[in-house]
């Protein structure tokens, strides 16, 4: 079997092989944020954007978190009314932050939501499950079919300690999820 | 360049300050700006590298073009650059090692152990306190459940106070009914446990630790079994703050531990940042100093380069080059001023010298012009006969080439021995060292042609140097003309004085013969006849001679008319044709006409033919060849015989009266021929042939319109 593979292996350029290896290794270890099941709900007064999001920390990010380095996740929701002939009209723009931190003293993971509410968890998975369901209160807002919803959830690099910044070109820190959908798609 | 450098320096310093600020974790500078700063610094360094590369390229280009001062600039640049690079590099490597070791020293094992120990201590304290609150909660739960209904509230209050609990809550399993609440400060809505927590608490106890307002709190959940209603589950929730001293210490230890962990995690990054910053600073320092060294080097080398450049101009003879004086009072400024003063003086001196030289050249040109146009030859010699000045005429007279110009007069003697007499005369005068002036006429035979040269020598002194000014005049023609004039005068007088009495003498002799004829004896009669015949014959001879003299002395009056040359010449030749003499004619242009005095020309032809006949009368095969031909507006006539020729000693003056090789000749024939040809504007040349005989060639002016 090996003998039959060798001729093909010989034809693979070593540099290409190395690049492929790097690509796959990055794919393997890169952290990611995923957004799923986006929907739009409306009650009498307010409108809500409901979605699930999941965070998979990469090895580096998890290690940093376990060393006590706070990791901030920034969520930005922007709703625009698309206009063909002029600038888009911004209907809604809001940023939300939550910070994850491991408390060495308490042996707990601390979730600070919007710097107001603090919740402690025994494990990362608990936090993930806690954050999985998310509802964004949009208040009273009138959306049309051409309203575009732009949701970004990403690791906020600016809140990381400065020495880490020069290493941030590493893909393992490039955790970002982005969804752009029209209102009509979410109904 | 200096403006660019100043701009670069301002930007560089600003960037460095910003980079330093960002390293101190200033909130003003964000992570993006930090990265941008690094990028700008790198870009700035790149700009500096480009600037220096351009400067180096220009410098080497200048060296290649051999621009003055470029090599000096290069040396200064290298020197200045080395002066900066070496110490800065040493500082860099020392700082590098220091920085690396310093960062490594932060993460000491003991420090880490101590921090971990501190943190463990905190954790253990919290565990102990948690155990304590567990016991308290169990005790309160038991007492509360077994107490009478009416006493429970007071009991909870008392126990809370007794155990130092800040908050105590009793609620049912559904958390719908809060039965008891006791505490120092209640929150408006007390935080209730989650279902999971209650589920866990059912098993006996669940404790939680949390931080609130920089204090650590312990919270315990235990089930309560109330004796009246054992089927329903109630829970007791106790919240107790840890003493602030312990809490603060534990939190401080945790903060330090976290920071330490962050630093430890960022250890490599920190090293990279500091080393990167240090490297950026080093590169900025080195590159800035190298760039600055160009400016400084140029400032140093500029006056020296200008001096070297100006010196080059001076070496080429341009004394107008002035170095810009920047008014500096240092040695270089003094040097520039001295140099400018020197070139100014040199310029003035050169202008004066040029003016003098031009004046001298003008004088020389004037002298040359005079000498060239002078009909006399001039040679100025020194005592050793070195020629220091001469004119063309002198060499024409002395029949030599220009090669003797500015040479020694002795060479002339060697080259042309015919002028030996003249050179010796000059030599003797120069060597005699006596006379101030001498004049003499020399008759020289040059190429079998007589030349009469008059020499005047003047001895002069010029700047203490003795010079001899030799004036040469070719007076051959003048002498010839004078001689001709004298002969003409003699001939005229002879003709006048002798011709008049000749006729009476002849008539008297004939009358005497006629009167005495028959009156004398036969013997006397013979004597008479002989004497009178002699008188008459001699008178006739005298008449012929006088006529010839008269002809020679006659004033030049020509009656020119066109004649056909061939016809005219043929008729004359026919007069002398005989079987004895062979006349040979060359090809003639029979229609050729010439404008001449035909009587005079006839006399010329007759004289020349008779001379030839006289010369060939004793020759076995006498022959006379005659030819005429046209050449350059001249009509040439050749008369060639095969006679004995003319003796060499008289041939050069054969045209003079009374010079003849014939026994019976008067010696006036060729003199008259010469005179007639000269009157017609022609020329004559008589030479002996190589083998034998004489060739007479004369030319007359010829114009096409004559035909």
pLDDT of A7 higher than 60: no
Q: At what angle do helices B565-576 and B598-616 cross, to 10 degrees?
A: 40
pLDDT confidence bin for B26, thresholds 50/70/90? very low
- Does some domain include residue B409? yes
On whether both B539 and B453 belong to a single domain, the answer is no
Give the distance from residue A66's alpha carbon to the nearest chain B alpha carbon, in angstroms.
9
Q: What is the mean pLDDT of chain B?
A: 81
On whether both B361 and B457 belong to a single domain, the answer is no
Under an 8 A CB cutoff, do A163 and B269 touch? yes
Instruction: Tell me the per-residue pLDDT of B160-191, one tens digit each, with 9 for 90 and over.
Output: 888 888 888 888 877 766 777 766 655 555 67
Give the distance from residue B153's alpha carbon to the nearest chain A alpha carbon, in angstroms.
31
Torsion of CA B160, B164, B167, B173, to 10 degrees: -60
Helix (H) or strand (E) holding B97: helix B70-106
Q: Percentage of chain B with pLDDT > 70? A: 91
pLDDT confidence bin for B22, thresholds 50/70/90? low
Residue B61 CA neighbour count, 13 Å, CB half: 6
On whether both B147 and B236 belong to a single domain, the answer is yes
Q: At what angle do helices B598-616 and B669-679 cross, to 10 degrees?
A: 150
Boundary of a domain, candidates B417, B452, B474: B474
- Does some domain include residue B342? yes
Instruction: Tell me the per-residue pLDDT of B110-127, one tens digit each, with 9 for 90 and over.
Output: 888 888 888 888 889 888
Q: Is some CB atom of chain B closer than 8 A to the CB atom of A122? A: no
Asked if residue B156 lies in contact with residue B168, where contact means CB atoms within 8 angstroms, the answer is yes
Q: What was the pLDDT predicted at B492? A: 75
Q: What was the pLDDT predicted at B587? A: 65
3-class secondary-structure state, position B675: helix
Under an 8 A CB cutoff, do A105 and B208 touch? no
Q: What was the pLDDT predicted at B356? A: 93
- Give chain A positions within 8 Å (CB) of B122: 105
Q: Is the dihedral of CA B399, B405, B408, B409 positive or negative?
A: positive
Q: What was the pLDDT predicted at B512? A: 85
Instruction: Tell me the per-residue pLDDT of B552-571, one tens digit each, with 9 for 90 and over.
Output: 777 667 888 888 888 888 88
- Return the residue in B191, B257, B262, B267 with the most chain A beta carbons within 10 A, the one to mutate for interface testing: B262
Structural domains in chain B (count): 6
Residues B687, A5: Cα–Cα separation, whole Å: 122
3-class secondary-structure state, position B589: coil
Q: Which residues contact B114 (CB under 8 A, 6 or more apart)?
A: none
CATH number at residue B230: 3.30.450
Token pair 């080195």 is found at B286
- Does some domain include residue B112? no
Lowest mean pLDDT among A105-119, B358-372, B626-640: A105-119
- Does some domain include residue B452? yes
More confident residue, B279 or A169: B279
- Out of B251, B262, B272, the one facing A68 most closely (by C-beta) is B262
Closest Cα in chain B to A166: B269
Asked if residue B320 lies in contact with residue B347, where contact means CB atoms within 8 angstroms, the answer is yes
Averaged pLDDT, A136-159: 84
- Altogether, the residues listed in chain A come to a count of 187
- The backbone torsions φ and ψ at residue B375, rounded to the nearest 5 degrees and listed phi first, read -75, -15
Supply the DSSP string of B615-668, one letter for each residue. HHTT-SS-EEEEEEEEETTEEEEEEEE-S----HHHHTTTTSTT--S-SS--S-
- Report long-range pairs for A174-177 (Cβ below 8 Å, ≥24 apart): A174/A30, A174/A31, A175/A31, A175/A32, A175/A33, A175/A55, A175/A57, A175/A58, A175/A61, A176/A33, A176/A152, A177/A32, A177/A33, A177/A34, A177/A35, A177/A53, A177/A152, A177/A153
pLDDT of A23 higher than 50: no
- Does some domain include residue B223? yes
pTM of the model: 0.48
Q: Under the phi-then-psi rule, with left for phi > 0, alpha for psi from -120 to 50, and beta for the rest, what region is B447?
A: left
Q: Is some CB atom of chain A closer than 8 A to the CB atom of B34? A: yes
Residue B230 CA neighbour count, 13 Å, CB half: 3
pLDDT of B499 higher than 80: no
SS3 track for B201-260: HCCCCEEEEEEECCEEEEEEEEEECCCCCCCCCEEEEEEEECCHHHHHHHHHHHHHHHHH
On whether both B258 and B290 belong to a single domain, the answer is no
Under an 8 A CB cutoff, do B257 and A104 touch? yes
Closest Cα in chain A to B276: A166
- Give chain A positions within 8 Å (CB) of B38: 166
On whether both B702 and B568 belong to a single domain, the answer is yes
On whether both B606 and B688 belong to a single domain, the answer is yes
Q: CA dist B401 to B117, B256, B454, B468, B534, Å?
A: 124, 117, 20, 21, 60
Residues B227, B260: Cα–Cα separation, whole Å: 53
On whether both B177 and B290 belong to a single domain, the answer is no
On whether both B140 and B253 belong to a single domain, the answer is yes
pLDDT confidence bin for B292, thresholds 50/70/90? confident
Q: Is some CB atom of chain B closer than 8 A to the CB atom of A37? A: no
Sheet strand arrangement including A89-103: A117-121, A108-113, A89-103, A71-81, A147-155, A176-182
Instruction: Tell me the per-residue pLDDT of B336-359, one tens digit each, with 9 for 90 and over.
Output: 888 888 888 988 888 898 899 999
Averaged pLDDT, B426-449: 80
Its domain, for residue B624, covers 561-706
Q: Kindly calculate the radius of gyration of chain A based on its CA atoms and give it in whole angstroms.
A: 21
Provide the token pair at B582: 């062979």
Averaged pLDDT, B276-290: 79
Asked if residue B253 lies in contact with residue B119, where contact means CB atoms within 8 angstroms, the answer is yes
On whether both B40 and B102 belong to a single domain, the answer is yes
- Does some domain include residue B97? yes
- Does some domain include residue B114? no
Beta-carbon count within 10 A of B698 CB: 24
- Give chain B positions within 8 Å (CB) of A106: 126, 209-211, 216
Name all domains of chain A by residue range, CATH numbers in brackets: 31-186 (2.60.40)
Under an 8 A CB cutoff, do A69 and B270 touch? no
Q: Where are the alpha helices (DSSP H) in B316-404?
A: 331-373, 392-397
On whether both B259 and B272 belong to a single domain, the answer is no
**Taking a contact as any Cβ pair under 8 Å apart, which residues of chain A between 128 and 187 contact chain B?**
157-158, 160-168
Asked if residue B409 lies in contact with residue B423, where contact means CB atoms within 8 angstroms, the answer is yes
Give the distance from residue A104's alpha carbon to the nearest chain B alpha carbon, in angstroms.
6
| Nearest CA-CA partner of B675 in B516, B546, B491, B522 | B491
Asked if residue B236 lies in contact with residue B137, where contact means CB atoms within 8 angstroms, the answer is yes
On whether both B569 and B701 belong to a single domain, the answer is yes
Under an 8 A CB cutoff, do A158 and B32 touch? yes
pLDDT confidence bin for A76, thresholds 50/70/90? very high
Q: What was the pLDDT predicted at B359? A: 93
Q: What was the pLDDT predicted at B270? A: 74
Q: What was the pLDDT predicted at A172? A: 63
Q: What was the pLDDT predicted at B696? A: 92
The pairing of strands A133-139 and A117-121 is: unpaired
Torsion of CA B278, B280, B286, B292, to 10 degrees: -130
- Out of A105, A160, A162, the one facing B119 most closely (by C-beta) is A105
Q: Which residues contact A61 (CB under 8 A, 6 or more apart)?
A: A31, A71, A155, A172, A173, A175
Q: Which of B25-34, B52-61, B276-285, B297-306 has the highest mean pLDDT?
A: B52-61
pLDDT of A8 higher than 60: no
Q: What was the pLDDT predicted at A9? A: 46
pLDDT confidence bin for B23, thresholds 50/70/90? low
On whether both B394 and B419 belong to a single domain, the answer is yes
> What percent of the residues of chain A are helix, what percent strand, and what percent coil, each to the nearest 5?
30, 45, 25
Residues B1, A89: Cα–Cα separation, whole Å: 51
Q: What was the pLDDT predicted at B21? A: 65
pLDDT of B518 higher than 60: yes
- Give chain B positions within 8 Å (CB) of A162: 22-23, 25, 31, 34, 273
- Altogether, the residues listed in chain B come to a count of 707
Give the distance from residue A86's alpha carbon to the nearest chain B alpha carbon, in angstroms.
31
- Give chain A positions within 8 Å (CB) of B272: 166-167
Does the ipTM surpass 0.85?
A: no
pLDDT confidence bin for B80, thresholds 50/70/90? confident
Under an 8 A CB cutoff, do B264 and A108 touch? no
- Give chain B positions within 8 Å (CB) of A69: 258, 261-262, 265
- Give chain B positions within 8 Å (CB) of A160: 31
| Nearest CA-CA partner of B279 in B54, B99, B56 | B99
- Does some domain include residue B315? no
Q: Is some CB atom of chain A closer than 8 A to the CB atom of B251? A: yes
Q: Is some CB atom of chain B closer than 8 A to the CB atom of A17? A: no
Q: Which residues contact B514 (CB under 8 A, 6 or more apart)?
A: none
3-class secondary-structure state, position A80: strand
Give the distance from residue A1's alpha carbon to the nearest chain B alpha carbon, in angstroms.
45
Helix (H) or strand (E) holding B71: helix B70-106
Q: Is some CB atom of chain B closer than 8 A to the CB atom of A64? A: yes
Q: Is some CB atom of chain B closer than 8 A to the CB atom of A59? A: no
Instruction: Tell me the per-residue pLDDT of B366-397, one tens digit each, with 9 for 90 and over.
Output: 888 888 888 888 888 888 888 888 888 887 88
Q: What was the pLDDT predicted at B697? A: 92
Beta-carbon count within 10 A of A46 CB: 13
- Out of A105, A120, A161, the one facing B262 most closely (by C-beta) is A161
Under an 8 A CB cutoff, do A105 and B261 touch? no
Residue B393 buriedness (CB in 10 A; 0-12 / 13-18 / 19+): buried
- Give chain A positions within 8 Å (CB) of B262: 67-69, 161
Residues B525, B516: Cα–Cα separation, whole Å: 8
């Amino acid at each position: 079997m090996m003998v039959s593979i060798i001729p093909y292996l010989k034809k693979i350029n070593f540099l290409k092989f190395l690049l492929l290896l790097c690509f796959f290794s990055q794919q393997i270890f890169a952290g990611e944020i995923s957004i799923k099941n986006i929907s739009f709900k409306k009650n009498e007064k307010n409108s809500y954007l409901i979605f699930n999001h999941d965070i998979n920390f990469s090895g580096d990010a998890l290690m940093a978190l376990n060393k006590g380095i706070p990791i901030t996740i920034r969520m930005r929701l922007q709703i625009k009314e698309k206009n063909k002939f002029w600038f888009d009209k911004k209907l809604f723009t809001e940023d939300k932050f939550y910070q994850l931190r491991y408390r060495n003293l308490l042996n707990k993971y601390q979730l600070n939501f919007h710097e107001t509410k603090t919740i402690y968890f025994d494990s990362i998975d608990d936090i993930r499950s806690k954050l999985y369901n998310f509802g964004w209160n949009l208040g009273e807002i009138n959306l049309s079919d051409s309203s575009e919803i732009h949701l970004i959830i990403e690791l906020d690099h600016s809140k990381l300690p400065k020495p880490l910044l020069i290493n941030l070109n590493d893909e393992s820190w490039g955790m970002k999820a982005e969804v752009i959908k029209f209102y009509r798609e979410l109904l | 360049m200096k403006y660019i450098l100043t701009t670069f320096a301002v930007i560089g310093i600003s960037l460095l300050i910003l980079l330093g600020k960002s390293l101190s974790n200033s909130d003003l500078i964000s992570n993006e700006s930090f990265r941008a700063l690094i990028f700008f610094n790198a870009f700035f360094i790149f700009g500096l590298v480009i600037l220096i590369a351009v400067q180096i390229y220009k410098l080497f280009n200048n060296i290649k073009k051999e621009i003055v001062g470029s090599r000096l600039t290069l040396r200064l640049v290298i020197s200045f650059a080395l002066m900066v690079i070496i110490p800065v590099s040493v500082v860099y490597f020392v700082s590098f090692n220091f920085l690396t070791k310093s960062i490594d020293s932060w993460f000491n094992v003991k420090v880490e152990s101590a921090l971990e120990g501190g943190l463990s201590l905190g954790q253990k304290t919290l565990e102990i306190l948690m155990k304590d609150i567990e016991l308290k909660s169990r005790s309160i739960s038991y007492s509360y459940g077994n107490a009478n209904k009416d006493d429970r509230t007071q009991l909870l209050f008392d126990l809370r106070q007794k155990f130092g609990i800040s908050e105590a809550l009793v609620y049912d399993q559904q958390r719908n009914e809060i039965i008891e609440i006791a505490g120092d400060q209640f929150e408006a809505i007390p935080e209730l446990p989650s279902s999971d927590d209650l589920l866990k608490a059912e098993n006996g106890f669940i404790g939680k630790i949390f931080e609130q307002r920089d204090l650590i709190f312990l919270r315990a959940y235990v089930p309560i079994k109330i004796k009246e209603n054992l089927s329903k589950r109630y829970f007791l929730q106790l919240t107790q703050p840890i003493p602030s001293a312990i809490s603060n210490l534990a939190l401080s230890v945790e903060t330090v531990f976290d920071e330490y962990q962050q630093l430890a995690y960022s250890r490599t990054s920190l090293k990279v940042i500091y080393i990167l910053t240090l490297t950026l600073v080093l590169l900025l320092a080195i590159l800035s100093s190298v760039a600055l060294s160009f400016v400084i080097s140029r400032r140093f080398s500029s006056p020296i380069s200008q001096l070297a450049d100006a010196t080059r101009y001076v070496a080429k003879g341009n004394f107008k080059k002035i170095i810009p004086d920047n008014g500096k009072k240092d040695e270089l400024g003094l040097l520039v001023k001295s140099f400018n003063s020197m070139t100014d003086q040199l310029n003035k001196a050169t202008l004066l010298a040029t003016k003098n030289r031009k004046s001298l050249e003008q004088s020389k040109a004037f002298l040359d012009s005079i000498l060239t146009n002078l009909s006399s030859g001039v040679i100025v010699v020194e005592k050793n006969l070195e020629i220091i000045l001469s004119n063309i005429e002198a060499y024409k007279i002395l029949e030599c080439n220009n090669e003797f110009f500015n040479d020694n007069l002795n060479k002339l003697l060697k080259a042309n021995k015919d002028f030996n007499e003249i050179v010796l005369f000059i030599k003797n005068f120069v060597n005699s060292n006596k006379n101030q002036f001498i004049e003499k006429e020399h008759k020289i035979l040059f190429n079998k042609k007589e030349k009469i040269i008059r020499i005047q020598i003047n001895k002069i002194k010029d700047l203490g140097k003795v010079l001899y000014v030799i004036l040469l005049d070719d007076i051959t023609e003048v002498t010839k003309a004078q001689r001709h004039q004298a002969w003409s005068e003699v001939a005229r007088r002879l003709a006048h004085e002798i011709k008049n009495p000749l006729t009476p003498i002849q008539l008297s002799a004939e009358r005497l013969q006629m009167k005495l004829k028959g009156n004398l004896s036969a013997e006397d009669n013979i004597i008479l006849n002989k004497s009178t015949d002699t008188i008459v014959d001699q008178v006739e001879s005298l008449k012929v001679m006088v006529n010839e003299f008269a002809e020679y002395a006659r004033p030049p009056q020509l009656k020119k008319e066109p004649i056909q040359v061939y016809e005219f010449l043929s008729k004359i030749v026919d007069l002398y044709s005989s079987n004895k003499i062979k006349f040979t004619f060359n090809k003639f242009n029979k229609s050729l006409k010439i404008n001449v005095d035909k009587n005079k020309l006839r006399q010329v032809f007759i004289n020349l033919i008779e001379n030839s006949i006289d010369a060939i009368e004793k020759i076995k095969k006498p022959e006379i060849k005659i030819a005429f031909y046209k050449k350059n507006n001249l009509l040439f006539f050749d008369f060639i015989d095969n006679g004995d020729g003319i003796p060499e000693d008289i041939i050069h003056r054969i045209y003079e009266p009374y010079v003849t090789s014939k026994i019976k000749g008067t010696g006036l024939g060729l003199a008259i021929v010469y005179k007639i040809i000269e009157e017609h504007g022609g020329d004559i040349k008589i030479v002996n042939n190589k083998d034998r005989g004489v060739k007479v060639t004369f030319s007359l002016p010829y114009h096409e319109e004559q035909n």
